[in-house]
């Protein structure tokens, strides 16, 4: 028996973020008949760092922001995972997301472990110069943990290619040479990969298409509701629209819009960019965020934050399929209710793995200083996503289980095997 009292996850056993991530792991692990002693090793983060970042604000005040970097498991390769700027970021949240990232990277068979970082801030309330100073200070504070062979951050909620450019520059200045592969999701002009920005959305489409094909259905005329209109939500909506699906509902944090005949995505994106919200968008009716999740549609795509579909929402979901474009949008209780109601869930570690897959391509390109065309990136992405979907689909058939359990089983067994083969140090 392993004593868990001093382990990192024991401190956060009551946090819903950590609990949900752990429950999904534990549910699959229990069915796998693996050695019990590895259960704690595999679920405990390897390293967690908390930093404080004092920044001079534009009005002369000094404000201190808290940041985190959690590294979950690196049995299969360097740590890799996003960096989030959001007011609700916390230690347990980054630990949970780092664990999810370990399973995601293993599922799509990338040579990476899982990590996640975050800074507690409201990025939209910071000026561009304040955001730059915060990014640079956070990078300097986590410097001992990151590097192209150690831990490679990428964009997530509230961060973008500009934030990655500042991170790259700060790291390069501190180590004394340009180090392209310390970060992915950079602008293409400074070593980013074509196709990275849209990659998560494109991956969502690959997985949804493959699933629909198993049901002899196609994207055409599918009625889709999308929660969240940031990087992932927008590109998912745009690509679905291009493939003749009908986007009937869209939302951002401030509220949603609905039009049963379909929303014009190009106009909605322009409007969102100009106004910072979708409120009062012409040619659509307003819809509250909760109602979007339960509206009459074929496919629901949560592409915003964690735990937005809980046990109060789940019984009212009308979609036959949910594609988890966001990380952890469905709580374990809601997951159970949805499965009982016959809703198919394409889980986050499969559905949104397109982003980290193209990040892997970007890392490889940076290491080799040899850059690919957009066409090559899109073709390689499609191959990785198709292979991952086929493996999960076959596992679900073979074990007569849901897609999440199948995906976790494949991912955990890959990480468990790498950990077992490497053994314990010392």
Which positions touch ligand NAD (CB under 6 A)?
155-158, 200, 227-233, 251-253, 289, 303-305, 308, 325-327, 352, 355
Token pair belonging to 412: 């955990």
* Nearer of residues 227 and 378 to ligand NAD, judged by Cβ: 227
Q: Is the CB of residue 249 less than 8 Å from the CB of residue 297?
A: yes
Q: How far apart are CA 331 and CA 217, in angstroms?
A: 28
Nearest distance from C-beta of residue 167 to ligand NAD, angstroms: 15
* Nearer of residues 12 and 348 to ligand NAD, judged by Cβ: 348
Nearest distance from C-beta of residue 87 to ligand NAD, angstroms: 11
- Catalytic position from the list 46, 80, 104, 116: 116
Token pair belonging to 139: 């990078």
Ramachandran quadrant class, 147 (left: phi over 0; alpha: psi -120 to 50; beta: rest) = left
Who's near 291: CB < 8 A, 6+ residues apart?
A: 256
Q: Is the CB of residue 277 less than 8 Å from the CB of residue 286?
A: no
Nearest distance from C-beta of residue 394 to ligand NAD, angstroms: 24
* Nearer of residues 4 and 277 to ligand NAD, judged by Cβ: 277
* Nearer of residues 219 and 325 to ligand NAD, judged by Cβ: 325
* Nearer of residues 330 and 337 to ligand NAD, judged by Cβ: 330
H-type alpha helices, 108-198: 128-142, 161-175
Nearest distance from C-beta of residue 288 to ligand NAD, angstroms: 10
Q: Is the CB of residue 77 less than 8 Å from the CB of residue 111?
A: yes
* Nearer of residues 89 and 157 to ligand NAD, judged by Cβ: 157
* Nearer of residues 41 and 232 to ligand NAD, judged by Cβ: 232
Strand order, beta sheet including 113-120: 47-56, 62-73, 113-120, 79-86, 151-155
Nearest distance from C-beta of residue 125 to ligand NAD, angstroms: 14
Helix, strand or coil, per DSSP, at residue 31: helix
Nearest distance from C-beta of residue 401 to ligand NAD, angstroms: 24
Q: How far apart are CA 66 and CA 93, in angstroms?
A: 14
For 270, half-sphere exposure in the C-beta direction (CA atoms, 13 angstrom radius) is 6
Token pair belonging to 402: 């849901």
Q: How far apart are CA 134 and CA 15, in angstroms?
A: 27
Nearest distance from C-beta of residue 399 to ligand NAD, angstroms: 26
Residue 323: beta bridge partners?
Answer: 346
Look up 116 and say whether it is catalytic.
Answer: yes
Helix, strand or coil, per DSSP, at residue 275: helix
Q: Is the CB of residue 40 less than 8 Å from the CB of residue 63?
A: no
Q: How far apart are CA 225 and CA 245, in angstroms?
A: 11
Q: How far apart are CA 165 and CA 132, in angstroms?
A: 10
Q: Is the CB of residue 321 less than 8 Å from the CB of residue 211?
A: yes
Strand order, beta sheet including 321-323: 285-287, 255-258, 246-252, 223-227, 299-302, 321-323, 344-346
Q: Is the CB of residue 111 less than 8 Å from the CB of residue 76?
A: yes
Nearest distance from C-beta of residue 376 to ligand NAD, angstroms: 19
* Nearer of residues 163 and 416 to ligand NAD, judged by Cβ: 163
Catalytic (active-site) positions:
116
């Amino acid at each position: 028996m392993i004593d868990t009292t001093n382990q990192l996850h024991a401190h956060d056993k009551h946090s819903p973020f950590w609990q949900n991530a752990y429950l999904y792991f534990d549910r699959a692990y229990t069915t796998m008949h693996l050695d019990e002693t590895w259960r704690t090793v595999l679920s405990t983060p390897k390293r967690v760092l908390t930093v404080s970042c004092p920044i001079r604000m534009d009005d002369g005040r000094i404000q201190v922001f808290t940041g985190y970097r959690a590294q979950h498991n690196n049995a299969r390769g360097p740590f890799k995972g996003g960096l989030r700027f959001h007011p609700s970021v916390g230690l347990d949240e980054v630990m949970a997301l780092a664990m999810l990232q370990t399973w995601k990277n293993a599922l799509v068979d990338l040579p990476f472990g899982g990590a996640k970082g975050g800074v507690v801030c409201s990025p939209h309330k910071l000026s561009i110069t304040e955001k730059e100073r915060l990014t640079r200070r956070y990078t300097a504070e986590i410097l001992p943990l990151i590097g192209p062979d150690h831990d490679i951050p990428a964009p997530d909620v509230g961060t973008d290619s500009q934030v990655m450019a500042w991170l790259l520059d700060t790291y390069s200045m501190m180590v004394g040479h340009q180090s392209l592969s310390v970060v992915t999701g950079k602008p293409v002009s400074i070593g980013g990969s074509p196709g990275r920005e849209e990659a998560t959305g494109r991956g969502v489409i690959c997985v949804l298409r493959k699933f629909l094909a198993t049901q002899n259905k196609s994207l055409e005329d599918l009625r889709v509701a999308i929660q969240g209109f940031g990087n992932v939500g927008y590109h998912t909506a745009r690509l679905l629209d291009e493939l003749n699906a009908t986007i009937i509902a869209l939302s951002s944090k401030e509220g949603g819009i609905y039009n049963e005949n379909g929303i014009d995505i190009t106009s909605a994106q322009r409007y969102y960019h100009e106004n910072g919200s979708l409120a009062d968008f012409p040619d659509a009716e307003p819809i509250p965020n909760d109602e979007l999740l339960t509206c009459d549609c074929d496919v629901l795509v949560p592409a915003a934050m964690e735990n937005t579909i809980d046990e109060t929402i789940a019984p009212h979901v009308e979609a036959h399929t949910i594609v988890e474009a966001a990380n952890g949008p469905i709580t374990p209780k809601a997951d159970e209710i949805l499965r009982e109601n016959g809703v198919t869930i394409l889980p986050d570690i499969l559905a949104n793995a397109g982003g980290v897959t193209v990040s892997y391509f970007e890392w490889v390109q940076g290491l080799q200083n040899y850059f690919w065309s957009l066409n090559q990136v899109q073709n390689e992405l499609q191959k990785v996503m198709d292979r991952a979907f086929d493996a999960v689909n076959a596992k679900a058939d073979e074990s007569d289980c849901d897609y999440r359990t199948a995906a976790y089983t494949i991912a955990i067994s890959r990480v468990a095997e790498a950990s077992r083969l490497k053994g314990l140090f010392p």
